């Protein structure tokens, strides 16, 4: 019987995301104020001329575009991860502001080295093992909710070791375990 499951995890905003959003707002504010000062300086220099009205119109359009760009940039911080399990293959995509989609990683559970909870005392020696050439993907939503698992495998295409942190559902874990019961530790 074929297995197909999808699960979407909303990424919780971290301190880094909040700082980036604050910097975007600060940048848009500074740019808007600079444009306003420039527009009034131009108005003072060209008082009563037709070019002044045109300058004000262009200035306000630029300010509006600046704030629209800030809005778009802030929305890129709204991230979700979609886990797609098709038989033993896992594909994980990143969805930005519910519009753009980017494929992040794919792996096959029959070829993994280990899959276990990050707080599993029997297998966290594998989690704590630091390898400098390992690529780590943190594709979790809200880590404080728990249920975070890690998968270690070797990517043949890129010739590197990979670790993926993710938060599957219990039903997804039941199906995953069937494909490689020796290396998948579900608790």
CB 163 within 8 A of CB 31: no
CB 180 within 8 A of CB 112: yes
Count of residues making up the chain = 187
Per-residue tens of pLDDT for the chain, all 187 residues: 688 999 999 988 888 889 999 999 999 999 999 988 887 777 777 666 666 666 677 778 889 999 999 999 898 888 999 999 999 899 999 998 888 889 999 999 888 888 888 888 887 777 777 778 888 898 998 877 888 999 999 988 888 899 999 999 989 998 888 888 888 888 7
What global pTM score does this model have? 0.76
CB atoms inside a 10 Å sphere around CB 68: 11
- Residue 66 makes CB contacts below 8 A (sequence gap 6+) with 28, 31, 32, 35
């Amino acid at each position: 019987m074929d297995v197909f499951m999808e699960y979407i995890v909303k990424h919780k905003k971290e301190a880094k995301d909040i700082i980036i959003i604050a910097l975007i707002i600060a940048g848009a504010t500074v740019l808007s104020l600079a444009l306003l000062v420039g527009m009034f300086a131009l108005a003072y220099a060209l008082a009563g001329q037709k070019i002044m009205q045109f300058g004000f119109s262009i200035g306000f359009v630029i300010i509006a575009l600046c704030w629209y760009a800030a809005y778009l940039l802030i929305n890129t911080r709204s991230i979700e991860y979609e886990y797609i399990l098709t038989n033993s293959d896992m594909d994980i995509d990143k969805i930005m502001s519910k519009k753009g989609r980017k494929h992040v990683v794919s792996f096959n559970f029959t070829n993994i080295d280990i899959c276990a909870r990050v707080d599993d005392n029997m297998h966290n020696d594998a989690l704590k093992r630091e390898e400098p050439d390992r690529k780590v993907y943190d594709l979790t939503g809200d880590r404080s909710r728990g249920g975070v698992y890690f998968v270690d495998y070797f990517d043949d295409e890129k010739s590197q070791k990979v670790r993926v942190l993710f938060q599957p559902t219990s039903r997804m874990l039941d199906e995953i375990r069937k494909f490689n019961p020796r290396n998948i530790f579900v608790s």
